């Protein structure tokens, strides 16, 4: 199969039009890869099928992404970037406390996962086939959660914690989110908001800052 001419690479004589065409082609390939991954899983999808769905030659697909591995990384990065933008928007309310932000973020996460089933599938495939990439992604999520915990402590919403406990709690919170997602995927449990409210109530009970108890009674003699 002949390779498409490399007109998609930005050229000095093409200027911005060449760059725009290159970006459009890359976006089309990513959309095709996402559609293939949604149907059969990324590692079962053929590069020829992705190229055909995207309307490009296989050679052009390799030209833009180099390999299946790089395409997987780009696709996952695109999905995560989209999800992170939504999570940041859910975090925009500075008047909300840690628990209100947790609730809003979890609802956004569940909504996104349901609208983009390939995201969950790709995350599982990356865990199996790209463990180093998966560990780096988890480390990024943990640090983001830990930063939110530190802000909650500074605001006085959460009880004081040391660095080791903050990291452990960040792992626990993310792990619990995964199990909430699995429970809702089964379709046998309560509605999203009821599950999320139960999750937030559990987190609130374990992490909130409690007022000091002052013993006002007299000592017994």
34-65 confidence digits (pLDDT tens): 888 777 777 777 888 888 888 888 888 888 88
Q: Which of 9, 35, 66 is the last residue of a domain?
A: 66
Q: Which of 66, 83, 118 is the last residue of a domain?
A: 66
Question: Does residue 128 or residue 144 have the better pLDDT?
Answer: 144
Q: Which of 51, 66, 81 is the last residue of a domain?
A: 66
Domain count, the chain: 2
Give the helix ranges, DSSP H, for the chain.
16-40, 47-54, 58-65, 68-90, 98-115, 117-129, 131-154, 163-186, 192-207
Q: Are 83 and 119 in contact (CB under 8 A)?
A: yes
pLDDT tier for residue 9 given thresholds of 50, 70 and 90: very low
What local confidence, expressed as pLDDT, does residue 2 receive?
37
Max CA-CA distance within the chain?
97
Q: What is the pTM of this model?
A: 0.70
pLDDT at 87 > cutoff 50: yes
For residues 76 and 171, membership in a common domain is answered with: yes
For residues 26 and 103, membership in a common domain is answered with: no
Which residue range is the domain that position 57 belongs to? Answer: 1-66
């Amino acid at each position: 199969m002949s390779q498409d001419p490399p007109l998609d690479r930005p050229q000095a004589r093409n200027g911005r039009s060449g760059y725009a065409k290159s970006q459009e082609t890359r976006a089309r390939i990513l959309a095709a890869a996402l559609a293939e991954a949604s149907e059969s899983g990324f590692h079962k999808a053929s590069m020829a099928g992705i190229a055909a769905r995207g309307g490009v030659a296989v050679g052009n697909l390799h030209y833009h992404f180099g390999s299946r591995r790089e395409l997987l990384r780009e696709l996952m990065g695109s999905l995560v970037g989209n999800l992170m933008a939504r999570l940041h928007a859910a975090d925009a309310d500075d008047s909300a406390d840690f628990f209100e932000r947790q609730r809003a973020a979890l609802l956004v996460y569940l909504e996104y996962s349901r609208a983009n089933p390939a995201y969950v599938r790709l995350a599982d495939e990356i865990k199996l086939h790209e463990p180093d990439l998966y560990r780096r992604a988890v480390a990024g999520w943990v640090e983001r959660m830990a930063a939110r915990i530190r802000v909650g402590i500074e605001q006085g919403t959460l009880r004081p914690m040391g660095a080791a406990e903050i990291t452990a709690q960040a792992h626990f919170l993310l792990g619990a989110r995964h199990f909430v997602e699995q429970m809702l995927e089964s379709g046998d449990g309560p509605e999203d908001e009821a599950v999320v409210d139960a999750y937030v109530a559990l987190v609130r009970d374990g992490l909130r800052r409690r007022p000091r108890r002052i013993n006002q009674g007299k000592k017994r003699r």
